[in-house]
Amino acid sequence: MSYRAPLNEMLFTLRHAAAIDTIAALPGLEDSNFETAQAVLEECARFNSEVIAPLNHGGDLEPATLANGEVSTSPGFRSAFEQFGTAGWQGIQHSLEHGGQGLAKLVATPCMEMLHASNMSFALAPLLTDGAIEALMVAGSEEQQARFVPNMVAGKWTGTMNLTESQAGSDLAVVRTRAVPQDDGSYRIFGEKIFITYGEHDLAENIVHLVLARIEGAPPGVRGISLFVVPKVMVHGDGSLGERNDVWCASLEHKLGIKASPTAVLLFGDGKFPVGEAGAEAAGAIGYLVGKENRGLEHMFVMMNAARFAVGLQGVAVSDRAYQKALGYARERTQSRDVAGSSAPVTIIHHPDVRRMLMTMKAGTEAMRALAYFAAATSDRAAHAADGDERARSQALYEYLVPIVKGWSTEFAVEIASLGVQIHGGMGFIEETGAAQYYRDARILPIYEGTTAIQANDLVGRKTVRDAGATARAVIAAIRATEEELGARSGEHFDVIGERLGAGRAALEAVVDFVLQEFNNDVRSVFAGSVPYLRLAGIVLGGWQMARAALSADEELLGEGADQGFLTAKIATARFYADHLLTQAPGLGTAVVAGGAGVLALTEEQFG
């Protein structure tokens, strides 16, 4: 089956979880109202279902190929990318000044979800281009913005992120790529970068690489890293393209999933394309410093943060695609009689455990989506609120949410995609059914753009300890307020949701207290529980969003012409989430507060 965007669910989440009307009230976002969002989402759904989604399975079978340093993308990708750019989808959230549509990140977020659900391999090129645009808009000079950003917004050029190297992994302190200053203010870049998504391809006429490198004489470690913009093809002052820069694709990785996205090893300054004067002295890719010397990691964090949010959204997207696939199969596959008795075999959706798995997929996807949209709205407030204090609070909240959206959503996506395979039974293990692709594609999500442990360590150190828990406690206070609302509603569902949410909130509160109390006393034990803390935060914040959705659905049920089936399903799904997922929170809290000793109990030799 092809992808069908869950428009009703997305629009409900925009209205209630993300309060889109309050976003449209912010200065500069007046056009980002619900009516505009609905029109944009409807067209986006059509485009993705007709143009992008049909290429997903074929790309998995026929990945990108490399010959003589040049990459040919999967059949159909080049035409689809041209249509994507021409239709303006790359520019939804980018400024009118640079050719974008100037809409809120909140409006762009469901569009991004649709793109990733349709074809994750394809969507990685726009994802990284968005991040590169953001980095240049924050740290780049006006000249760099004018030279590179408009064509990226227009979908004519793409962007990449060049961080790690073979000896570095996640430890960017040991990056070796060199930047040699030139008399004209440019730099010659020499080095190798690995795991560069869409580092080489045939989709666009130019690729704008953002590269971390060390200027000669820079301090050691991360304090000596600078950021450079290195175009694949040189760009003249008038915007026209010049000669090929000295950037060479040495190889493509062979991967478990997202096979159609070319993951490149790039050589900078290898001499394959000497730029400028002829001869060996012209080796070295020409790059331009972005921002200040030795502040490259800080500047790159703008792109990394954007990418981390987007990868979390990929978790939502692949979960929804896996759920749609599993639901379709469960409605069609006939096997075994009903446990309560039936005259003949029934479709497997009648079996209780299949129902449990489908409900886990459905509830988990809705919770992740609501939290991601809520975070997007928070980002818009951070950028556009008229009041400076509100901007600062919103920025702190968004930064607290990003590692949760990234880490929890991607880990959960792997579980959900695995359930999709399980619902298919043996046929799920057969590639032709398509369920396995979602599982394989999902598996990279907790790894790239910072592993789950990196997100969890960030949640502990930068997002909880650094502000003495102020942001975490503000979130906890908001959850308490929702508990009070639940207590004021009549009905068993709201009583149970409130009770489960309260227990989850209490567990989260205890963990935040533990982290703050023990960080300076027993830091290893604190970090031993960092991933369980992240998972706990995701489950509780997801439960909070599901509770808010249930309250909103209950209110809408009183309105004229209410969609009874959809709204009662929202409440029932929130109840399932409370019973089956929120109930995990106290156990995770115990694992964080009391589990460090067990994690650290063995010596290295005792591992065998």
| CA 420, 426, 427, 429 torsion-angle sign | positive
CB–CB of 195/263 below 8 Å?
yes
Torsion of CA 159, 160, 161, 165, to 10 degrees: -160
Closest CA to 498 of 548, 562, 565, 456: 548
DSSP 8-state symbol, 347: B
CB 203 within 8 A of CB 158: yes
Whether 332 sits among the annotated catalytic residues: the reply is: no
Running DSSP on this structure, what letter comes out for residue 289? E
Contact of 285 with 188, CB cutoff 8 Å: yes
Nearest to 92 by CA among 142, 127, 143: 127
Helix, strand, or coil (residue 351)? coil
Tokens of 21: 């009307």
Spatial distance between the Cα atoms of 223 and 226, rounded to a whole number of angstroms: 9
Longest CA pairwise span in the chain (Å): 86
- Cα gap 533→542, rounded to integer Å: 14
Q: How far apart are CA 525 and CA 423, in angstroms?
A: 38
Give the whole-angstrom CA distance, residue 554 versus residue 571: 7
What token pair was written down for 277? Answer: 């004067």
Catalytic entry in 449, 483, 484, 492? 449
Q: What whole-number distance in Å separates Cα of residue 212 and Cα of residue 168?
A: 12
What is the rounded distance in angstroms from the CA atom of residue 287 to the CA atom of residue 186? 6
Count Cβ atoms within 10 A of the Cβ of residue 143 and give its class: 0-12 exposed, 13-18 middle, 19 or more buried. exposed
Across 314-438, where does the E strand assignment appear?
none
**DSSP letter string, 265-307:** EEEESSSSS--SSSSGGG-SEEEEEESSTT-HHHHHHHHHHHH
Between vectors from CA 417 to CA 411 and to CA 420, what angle results, nearest 5°? 150
Return the active site residues.
449
